[in-house]
Amino acid sequence: MTIKVGEKMPVGAFKMISTEGPQELSTEVLFSGKTVVLFSVPGAFTPTCDAKHLPGYVQHADALRAKGIDTIACIAVNDMFVMNAWGKASNVGDKVMMLADGNGDYSRALGLELDARGFGLGMRGQRFAIIVKNGTAAHVFIEAPGKFEVSAAEYVLGRL
């Protein structure tokens, strides 16, 4: 079942590269006591994700924080090394956390997996953005297939 407004976010964990090397980040640590924008892209370095989705959050990070967002986190069904390389290539710095949902477990737990086998990409996560307040989904923005509108940083910013 797809996550809905007012529901608790599923328990899970992501992989990431920190200054200390590879590490796991639990959803409890990510969401507890914070307001987080969690956005998902079908894949690192893929056209819309690389040209528009991630850059929008980097560009609008300060404005999102000014509206009460503590953390901006990008997830994709890619490994932590790819997510780290994409973050470096996109100059995200400390504006966006680059989190790997390597096996798609969290995307599945949210009910937001995407069958991209027709494109040779396997199972991925749908394009979406969720505003999470202290572990609860406050806003859920899920893109229609092939669209990039409601999960964009500008759209999310306009809803805060």
Residue among 38, 49, 114, 129 flagged as catalytic? 49
Length of the chain: 160
Rounded distance between C-alpha atoms, residue 75 and residue 42, angstroms: 9
Amino acid at 104: G
49 labelled catalytic: yes
* H/E segment holding residue 137: strand 136-142
Q: How many CB atoms within 10 Å of residue 113?
A: 18
3-state helix, strand, coil in the chain (%, to 5): 30, 30, 40
User: Which positions are catalytic?
Assistant: 49
